[in-house]
Structure 1
């Protein structure tokens, strides 16, 4: 059955899209996803790029690449996150320009998406700028692909457009402490005996 643009929009327009449903639309959705990526709505473009990356194999690679060359940084961020879902060779092609993008947020997400078995050319490019995943706010090149659970659309920090993220790309999660306040010590008491910064006993 042919997939309509209306069906694609129904899945992608909510604040937290159902990416599993988007992926289930299959390759028939590709023309519509490309139209959205090349359209003038950055949020829909970002969601469409990510949805394309979830199609089996690398069917959506060309659409993710189109997003990677968008003039809008948020769409390039989505492309960088989407690369996590592509086979390593396809991901590397998408990430080649993004790892040294002019936008810091794009660079950080791109570096966090570099596959463990990245081709030498991409690895050399990453090494030349001292940018391994640790520098990008990630965890390391052996991190599990984002495809697991990607359809939930609710995982904060997952990099999925519209996934309830509370931080900007590359931003560290909030700790819940006041400025200048130190974390609790092992015995559960606040270091500094719970005093506000600058407050004396």
Structure 2
């Protein structure tokens, strides 16, 4: 299944706040559709599925990609759920978003795809690139790239920058100082339910 390109607010209404997907907030507080206001009691599977969908839509992943990340998190030491969130947060598109260089993760992905972002001075156009501690994230040395990022910096997606990142607005240069800690993850999610959802598949 390919990446979701449909109406974002519809997803936000169904799953709750997704800071990476959209900055807009829905006018109606109930899910979309004919039965949006008549909420039924949800099964355990439905609750786990919803948590998984939150993760998928927020970070803009396909089902296949998310399954690959779950398998990778399983091989890591420590909590699988926390390792999964750290893998997703350390993606280049998400790091660009958290630095304030783009208003949403889809916008950050486009910024990376179009070759406006550099890692350690070299242009990287792969949104899924895993950022590591000590790497410098910058803007390509041309006027178009700088103007685009400067315009985005006036209205960043999230107000607070995580402790593992630093950014110099005058030089348009950021740095990854380590791995993100759990309390800095903006998405409200129970990652253990996501791991449980994939326990039969991964």
Q: Work out whether the TM-score is over 0.5.
A: no
Instruction: Identify the structure with bigger relative contact order (alpha carbons < 8 Å, sequence gap 6+).
Output: 2
Structure with the largest fraction of strand = 2
Given the two structures, how large is their TM-score scaled by the length of structure 1? 0.26
Structure with the largest fraction of helix = 1
Given the two structures, how large is their TM-score scaled by the length of structure 2? 0.26
